[in-house]
Amino acid sequence: NAGVTQTPKFQVLKTGQSMTLQCAQDMNHEYMSWYRQDPGMGLRLIHYSVGAGITDQGEVPNGYNVSRSTTEDFPLRLLSAAPSQTSVYFCASSYGGGGEDTEAFFGQGTRLTVV
């Protein structure tokens, strides 16, 4: 059971480039989300999805797009990378809609540097 898998683990982009961070889970979780973690800060929610075909914005959605065509995959797209998007990105998935079912399982993270 792989859990939540993120690729790549490391990425360096030039300003203005676009790329997609991949996230896949094999736990049949309905809920998936993307967070970014900046130095000395907690994780902040970028986008989330409550099921295939449904996505919504979190706290810091600007500059990012998501889609959810399958239950398993939830890619995060950077449209035009900026230095302010240098961060560590975490994907998470969870089974239920609240309470004890909300336990989120996190991937190992993608460390992105924009130069």
Of the candidates 92, 114, 110, the residue with the CA atom closest to the CA atom of residue 30: 92
Residue 98 interacts with another protein (CB under 8 A)?
Answer: yes
Which listed range, 11-19, 61-69, 70-78, 86-94, lies at the site for another protein (CB under 8 A)? Answer: 86-94
- 41, 49 in Cβ contact below 8 A? no
Of the candidate residues 51, 53, 83, 103, the single one contacting another protein (CB under 8 A)? 103
In the three-class reduction of DSSP (H, G, I as helix; E, B as strand; rest coil), residue 37 is classed as: strand
Of the candidate residues 7, 15, 18, 102, the single one contacting another protein (CB under 8 A)? 102
Min dist. Cβ of residue 16 to another protein (A): 29
CA distance 113 to 115: 6
- 80, 18 in Cβ contact below 8 A? yes
Q: In the complex, which residues of this chain contact another protein (CB under 8 A)?
A: 4, 31, 33, 35, 40-45, 48, 50, 56, 58-59, 90, 92, 94, 96-100, 102-109
